[in-house]
Structure 1
Amino acid sequence: MLRRELLAVRNRLTPDDVAATGRTVARRALELPELAHARTVAAYVSVGSEPGTRALLDALRARGVRVLLPTLLPDNDLDWGEYAGPDSLARVRHGGKMALYEPAGGSLGPDAVTAADVVLLPGLAVDARGMRLGRGGGSYDRVLARLERAGARPRLVVLLYDTEVVARVPAEAHDKPVHAVVTPSGVHRFPSA
C-alpha cells in the first residue's frame, strides 16, 4: 500500500518538476565525499517520475569516474555495462514492465558491481533507520546480497524526493540500511549502515 501511495504522488509530478529535482539532486550528490573520491560508481538511468539521474551520470563521467549501469536479466537479476555517454544507451522494454535505458555496449557480468566504490540505488522511500523501500522486484536485493557475499563494502546512496524520507518502511531480515539519502533539500546520513 505504501508503494502505491508513493508512486501516486510521483505520478502527479510534471516533467519540469522531475528535471529540476534531478539537477538539484545531482548537485548535492556531487558534493558527497563518497562520490568525490570514487573511481567506480554503479548507478542507474532514472525512468518516469524517478528523480532524474542523467545530469549526475554525465557529471561523474566528466570527472573520469567509471560509471556502471544495470541491464535487467530475465530473472530480475542485474548485469552491468559501462556508461559511455547518452549515445551509449538503448531503450529496452522487458515484457509488460516499463521500458528501461540500459548500456548498449558489452556485458560485464552481474559481479561487476562488486568493484564499485559507491552504489546509487533507486528507491521509493528510506526511513529513519536507513532502510530502503524499493519497487518490490528484488533486483537490488540481489545486488546487495552479491556485494555482501563478495565482501565488498561500497557506500550505498539513494536519490529521493524530500517527502520520501519517512519515519518507517517495512523491512525484512535480509534488508540492509543505506549510508545516505540525497534529496533536493539535503543529505541524510545513517550511521547504523
Structure 2
Amino acid sequence: MSQYPESAPGAHPDKRALRRELLAVRNALPVHDVRAAETVLAERAFEVAELAGARTVAAYVSVGGEPGTAALLDALRARGMRVLLPVLLPDNDLDWGTYEGPSSLVRVQYPGKMALLEPGGERLGPDAVTTADVVLLPGLAVDARGMRLGRGGGSYDRVLARLAAAGAHPALVVLLYDAEVVPHVPAEAHDKAVHAVVTPSGARRFT
C-alpha cells in the first residue's frame, strides 16, 4: 500500500524530476513482467538474513506497476511470521493491521488516489510498526549509499521518524526492479539510508 501523493509541497526539484522519469518507466511495464518479478522477489527477499529470521515484518500491498508484494506476503506468513500492513490515515500518517491472508484485505478508494488494499481487521495504532524486526519500504530507486527515493508523500518519513523516536532499529529493506538501483539519489538532511535492497537479481546490502 504505497500509492501516496507523488510529491509533497516544497519537495526537492531533482527528486520530483527523477520520480516522474521512474514512474513513467514503471507505468510502461507489461503486466507479465510485473507478475514475473513478483514471484522472483518472493524468493530473493529471504537472501536478507534479517528477513529470513524475522518474527514480525511491517510490509505493504503493492499497487500498479510497483514490484509485487502479494507472493512475498504469503511467503512470510507461511514461515510463521507476523505481518503488519499499513492503513492510510487522513493526515497521510499510517496506522497498522495484521495480514491474515488475501481474504483479510479490503479495497479502499481514497479521493485522488488509486484504490488501496488494506487489512480489514483490528487497528493496532501507528506505533505498532516499532515492534517490527524488518520494515519493507516502498520506493522508486536506491543508490550505492542505500539512499532511497520514495514517492514523496511523507508517510514513510513519519514511519522512520517514529522508529527513531522509539529507539527501534529494524532492518530497512526496499523492493525494486534491477534498473531502479541507480548511481545517485538526491538526498536531504532528513533522509535515512536503508540496509538492503531486493531486486529480481538478488539482495544487496549497504554499509
TM-score (normalizing by structure 2)? 0.91
Deviation, structure 1 residue 29: 0.3
Which of residues 30, 35, 38 in structure 2 aligns to 1:19?
Answer: 35
Aligned to 1:44: 60
Please list the CA deviations of residues 97-144 of structure 1 after superposition, one character each: whole Å capped at 9, or x if unmatched.
111110000100000000000000000000111010000100000000
Deviation, structure 1 residue 171: 1.1
Aligned amino acid, residue 95 of structure 2: D
Aligned to 1:74: 90
Give the aligned length: 191
Quick one: distance in 1 between partners of 2:184 and 2:92? Answer: 26
Quick one: distance in 2 between partners of 1:86 and 1:16? Answer: 21
Aligned amino acid, residue 84 of structure 2: L
- Tell which deviates more after alignment, 96-105 or 108-117: 96-105
Aligned amino acid, residue 89 of structure 2: L
Find runs of 4+ consecutive structure 1 residues off by over 4 angstroms: none
Which of residues 84, 101, 115 in structure 1 aligns to 2:131?
Answer: 115
Deviation, structure 1 residue 188: 1.6
> Percent of aligned pairs with the same residue?
77
Contact 2:196 2:204 in 1 (8 A): yes
- Tell which deviates more after alignment, 165-174 or 79-88: 165-174
Aligned to 1:58: 74
Aligned to 2:165: 149
Quick one: distance in 1 between partners of 2:75 and 2:42? Answer: 8
Is 2:187 aligned against 1:184?
A: no
Quick one: distance in 2 between partners of 1:142 and 1:107? Answer: 18
Please list the CA deviations of residues 12-54 of structure 1 after superposition, one character each: whole Å capped at 9, or x if unmatched.
1111111100111110002321111100000000000001100
Quick one: distance in 1 between partners of 2:129 and 2:152? Answer: 20
Which residues of structure 2 form unaligned runs of 5+? 1-16
The alignment yields a C-alpha RMSD, in angstroms, of 0.7
Quick one: distance in 1 between partners of 2:193 and 2:112? Answer: 30
Aligned amino acid, residue 41 of structure 2: V
Aligned amino acid, residue 130 of structure 1: G
Aligned to 1:127: 143
Deviation, structure 1 residue 62: 0.9
Aligned to 1:104: 120
Aligned amino acid, residue 134 of structure 1: G
Quick one: distance in 2 between partners of 1:137 and 1:97? Answer: 12
Contact 1:126 1:165 in 2 (8 A): yes
Look up the SS of the partner of 1:166 in the other structure. coil
Higher relative CO (Cα under 8 Å, sequence separation at least 6) belongs to: 2
The structure with the largest strand share of the pair is: 1
Is 2:133 aligned against 1:85?
A: no
Which residues of structure 1 form unaligned runs of 5+? none
TM-score (normalizing by structure 1)? 0.97
Contact 1:30 1:56 in 2 (8 A): no
Quick one: distance in 2 between partners of 1:78 and 1:37? Answer: 25
